[in-house]
Amino acid sequence: MDQERATAAQLWEGSDWLFATPTGGPVNPRTDYDEWKRLLRLAGLRNGRLHDARHTAATVLLILGVAERAVTGIMGWSNSAMAARYQHLTTQVRRDIAQRVGGLLWDSPTEDPKLGS
């Protein structure tokens, strides 16, 4: 913050905001909302709430197979029960599970060349 204060010089507003403008003042609550809407338009995506991005992030972590404890930490949740609210079982996740279970049940065991059998 000292560097930001020096850069802003006489324009520094001197507040202790966690998220602040370059001059140390409070960020306008609409800033994130407006930037989110702009990014959606630029990307050619459907309109959506900024909060929907949390659901998307949590679901992507599920698809990637990230451990629940890690997801809880990344998402800032106090407990893993939030995963049920934010992570959504996509067709891709269901298909992957079905293939893994099918492989476990129906695929013939592979021989381990190290064991010689």
Average pLDDT over the chain, rounded to an integer: 86
> Is residue 60, in this structure, part of any structural domain at all?
yes
117 pLDDT higher than 70 = no
**pLDDT tens-digit profile of 94-110?**
999 999 999 999 887 66
Q: Into how many domains does the chain fold?
A: 2
What CA–CA distance (Å, rounded) separates 70 from 68?
5
Same domain as 46, residue 3:
yes
Same domain as 80, residue 42:
no
Average pLDDT over residues 53-81: 93
pLDDT category at 87 given cuts 50, 70, 90 is very high
pTM: 0.62
Domain that holds residue 72: 52-107
> Are 17 and 25 within 8 A, CB to CB?
yes
Same domain as 70, residue 82:
yes
**Closest residue by Cα to residue 87 from 98, 74, 100, 102:** 74
- Strand-pair partners of 20: 26
- 18 versus 112: the higher-pLDDT residue is 18
| DSSP of 77-114 | -SSTTHHHHH----HHHHHHHHHHHHHHHHSPPPP-TT
The helix (H) or strand (E) run that includes residue 41 is: helix 30-43
Same domain as 69, residue 57:
yes
**Closest residue by Cα to residue 60 from 37, 97, 36, 86:** 86
> Is residue 38, in this structure, part of any structural domain at all?
yes
